[in-house]
Amino acid sequence: MNKLIKKPHLIFWTSIPIIILFGILTKADSFGFNVHDTYFVIATNHLIILISVLFGIIGLGYWIMLKANRKLSKWLNLIHITLTFGGILLTWLLAQFFRESIAEYEFNDNLTLSIYILVLIAIFGQIAFPINIIGGIIKKKNKTSG
């Protein structure tokens, strides 16, 4: 765990093949969600490519900071990793409880709200990444690494 906090690019780059494999093996062709009166439909392949590219860029940012001997905040690394992967995992887990029956409309409504809140928390958790990178650029170089 300590290695992942010190080298967070490893978890982001390792997750890319897993996400792509999951996208290939999933049976859904599209991912749809409803916001008020608008129904958005995104192809699963496009969503998988978008997430993979974003994780690649995030991993590259962490790797560049490591190679430039810039010190990053361990707490911000932990917050970013936890909100990113925890948010994705909990969103996927809650989506599995979604019921198709019309009789369970109130349950689905509350579940949808919970999923939206989790997704928003995961998206706002991405703010920790640029704050950490900017803080690492402003701070002095590591004295222990050589």
What was the pLDDT predicted at 7?
Answer: 87
Q: Which residues contact 134 (CB under 8 A, 6 or more apart)?
A: none
Residue 69: CA count within 13 A, CB half-sphere = 7
What percent of the chain has a predicted confidence (pLDDT) above 70? 86
Mean pLDDT for 115-137 is 90
pLDDT > 90 fraction of the chain, expressed in percent and rounded: 33
DSSP helix/strand/coil, 97: coil
| Residue 146 reports pLDDT greater than 50 | no
- Contact (Cβ atoms closer than 8 angstroms) between residue 15 and residue 85: yes
Is pTM beyond 0.85? Reply is no
Residue 59, pLDDT score = 94
Q: Please state, rounded to an integer, the average pLDDT across all residues of the chain.
A: 83
Whether 13 has a pLDDT exceeding 90, the answer reads yes
Q: List pLDDT tens digits, range 68-103.
A: 988 888 899 999 999 999 988 898 888 777 666 555
* pLDDT, mean of residues 50-76: 92
Give pLDDT, residue 23. 83
Q: Is 59 in contact with 41 (CB distance < 8 Å)?
A: no
Q: What's the pLDDT score for residue 11?
A: 92
